[in-house]
Chains A and B, each alone.
Chain A
Amino acid sequence: MTTSSRPSRLTVEAPGASTLVQDLGRPGLAHLGVPASGALDRGALTLANRLVGNPDAAAALEIAMGGFRSRFAAETWFAVTGAWGDVRLDGRRIAPYTAARAAEGGVLELAPPERGIRSLLAVRGGIDVPAVLGSRSRDTLSGLGPDPVRAGDVLPIGAAPAASVPLLDHEAAFPPPSGTVTLSLLPGPRADWFTDAARRGLFDGAWRMSDQADRIGARLVGDVLARRVDGELASEATVPGSVQVAGDGRPTILLADRPVTGGYPVIAVVAAASLDRLAQVRPGQELRFRHA
């Protein structure tokens, strides 16, 4: 395989519903009110980066629900992971989760995915926009980091990394499931604010992803989780995956761009290993929880 050493650019002609620059985020600043942000499907980001020989933390594009088209200014290796669907280079369908090489002027198109929501497009060299507070991630809540990508934006691509594009077999591909998704839960700090029935119901019940789901949080549809303890909770810090239950008894899973403190009790916390799967769950899709 050859590697191009000439830095390139990516012109986004159609960003689809939402295209954001994301890397592994900016952890360590929650005490200043800054959430870590970063790619929601971190496994997909690191896989895409590894496929093109980038460091895990290189910045990529997080593309929600396809409808994306871009043009490469020079020969560029790239990989698309995360959501599973129709990916085309110069009109020819290519396999997701593999590295491919675009020629100068090559056009990459992502149709709305068949499975999952968020595609991660890594380019060899990484998206080289300026970092803010140590990260190139767009934080949709506080507006930190690079602006959402708009049609016509030209994104600089960094110099090729030292590592070559690795030869990988295709077995690394685990497309997001289309049926019921099972997530592992750990106890939350305020589990004892809820009735035994609510704590059991969390695991016994069938849940559905609502259409109120973004990078800040994902609201679930299902049974009401009743409280044992009434009263107000003083705001306290949460972690990504915290299952916060609002006053109406409906759970919301807080995600990468959440406010760093919240005033609703957290009944449980989604295990880190399940967060990537959660990032690909579509509105209307069924969810179940099991003990981690």
Chain B
Amino acid sequence: MSRRLLPSGESALLVECDSLEEVLALHDALEEARPPGVVELVPAARTLLVSVDPERMPLESAATWIRRIPAEAGSRVAGAHAEPMRIRVTYDGADLAATAALLHMSVDALVARHSGIEWRVAFVGFAPGFGYLVSEDWPHEVPRLEAPRPRVPGGSVAVAGAFGGVYPRQSPGGWRLLGRTDAPLWDPAAAEPAVLAPGRRVRFEPTR
């Protein structure tokens, strides 16, 4: 287990980890003890960007803060106490049957698997509020569509690569669609604009 601190301008550091699991643990640990001078904590697949307001927290102090977090820290304790958010899903997606076939399982088994496990938002990418969901109980790799759809409706519940996700708004997209939800996931007027923020835990519930 190791992390490397890489430079990213005069007010940010990019912390590189060996795995997504380490990023998640580091994110939890940093979030738990976040000093006021930290402006952004942006996790991604192998990295975590820490940006600061240099007048309130010099970059050197940020580096020391990050280095002092023990390697085994976090260990997903931070979010584990929180009750997972429940998202009701109608499993009637255009790619449901094809995805089940790709994974060598029945449609019922795919629905049961997708809705039977706890997911966690690892990071947000692609569009505002588009959380990349991971689960220890989702070992699958699902190839993206060969040709992305020009319009995927907001609320589409989908999978691609090792990730699950829900399209927060209508957009183009190449993920495989399993179903849809009416849950509002992106509201710029809300106190928490993105429901699927990094660290959030999620369970999907079939509506039928």
Q: Are B188 and A236 in contact (CB under 8 A)?
A: no
Q: Are A31 and B197 in contact (CB under 8 A)?
A: yes
Residue in chain A with minimal CB distance to B48: A237
**Cβ of B107 < 8 Å from any Cβ of A?**
no
Q: Are A34 and B128 in contact (CB under 8 A)?
A: yes
Contact among B7, B16, B124 with A31 in the assembled complex (CB-CB below 8 Å): B124
Residue in chain B with minimal CB distance to A275: B9
Q: Which of B123-147 contact A (CB under 8 A)?
A: 123-130
Q: Are B130 and A241 in contact (CB under 8 A)?
A: no
Contact among B9, B130, B189 with A239 in the assembled complex (CB-CB below 8 Å): B9
Q: Are A236 and B44 in contact (CB under 8 A)?
A: yes
Residue in chain A with minimal CB distance to B42: A237
Q: Are B9 and A271 in contact (CB under 8 A)?
A: yes
**Cβ of A32 < 8 Å from any Cβ of B?**
yes
Contact among A32, A188, A235 with B44 in the assembled complex (CB-CB below 8 Å): A235
* B111 CB → nearest A CB, Å: 28
Per the bound structure, the CA–CA distance linking A241 and B7 in Å amounts to 13
Contact among B39, B48, B127, B198 with A27 in the assembled complex (CB-CB below 8 Å): B39
Contacts of B32 in A (CB 8 A): none
Q: Are A186 and B9 in contact (CB under 8 A)?
A: yes
Residue in chain B with minimal CB distance to A133: B188
Given contacts A31-B40, A31-B41, A31-B124, contact A272 B129 (CB under 8 A): no
Q: Are B188 and A31 in contact (CB under 8 A)?
A: no
Q: Are A142 and B49 in contact (CB under 8 A)?
A: no
* A243 CB → nearest B CB, Å: 10
Residue in chain B with minimal CB distance to A190: B6
**Cβ of A187 < 8 Å from any Cβ of B?**
yes
Residue in chain B with minimal CB distance to A269: B9
* B110 CB → nearest A CB, Å: 27
Contact among A27, A187, A234 with B47 in the assembled complex (CB-CB below 8 Å): A234
Contacts of A272 in B (CB 8 A): 9-11
**B-facing mask of A265-278, CB < 8 A → 1, else 0?**
01001111000000
Q: Are B128 and A237 in contact (CB under 8 A)?
A: no
Q: Are A30 and B7 in contact (CB under 8 A)?
A: no
B-side interface residues, number (CB < 8 Å):
35
Per the bound structure, the CA–CA distance linking A238 and B8 in Å amounts to 8
**A-facing mask of B151-172, CB < 8 A → 1, else 0?**
0000000000000000000000
Q: Which of A30, A33, A271 is the most central at the interface, judged by chain B CB atoms within 10 Å of its CB?
A: A33
Q: Are B46 and A234 in contact (CB under 8 A)?
A: yes
**Cβ of B35 < 8 Å from any Cβ of A?**
no
Q: Which of A240-289 contact B (CB under 8 A)?
A: 241-242, 259-261, 266, 269-272
Q: Which of A32-69 contact B (CB under 8 A)?
A: 32-34
**Cβ of B100 < 8 Å from any Cβ of A?**
no
Per the bound structure, the CA–CA distance linking A86 and B51 in Å amounts to 39
Q: Which of A185-239 contact B (CB under 8 A)?
A: 186-190, 234-239
Per the bound structure, the CA–CA distance linking A237 and B198 in Å amounts to 14
**Cβ of A144 < 8 Å from any Cβ of B?**
yes
Q: Are A31 and B43 in contact (CB under 8 A)?
A: yes
Given contacts A27-B39, A272-B9, contact A236 B128 (CB under 8 A): no
Q: Are B197 and A32 in contact (CB under 8 A)?
A: yes
Q: Which of B178-208 contact A (CB under 8 A)?
A: 188-189, 193-194, 197-198
Q: Are B39 and A188 in contact (CB under 8 A)?
A: no
Q: Which of B5-63 contact A (CB under 8 A)?
A: 6-12, 14, 16, 39-49, 51
Contact among A28, A186, A260 with B10 in the assembled complex (CB-CB below 8 Å): A186
**Cβ of A132 < 8 Å from any Cβ of B?**
yes
What 11 new A-B contacts, CB under 8 Å, besides A234-B44, A239-B9?
A33-B194, A34-B193, A142-B127, A186-B7, A188-B7, A189-B6, A189-B8, A234-B47, A238-B8, A239-B51, A242-B8
A-B contact pairs, 5 of them (CB 8 A): A33-B194, A237-B44, A242-B8, A260-B42, A271-B10
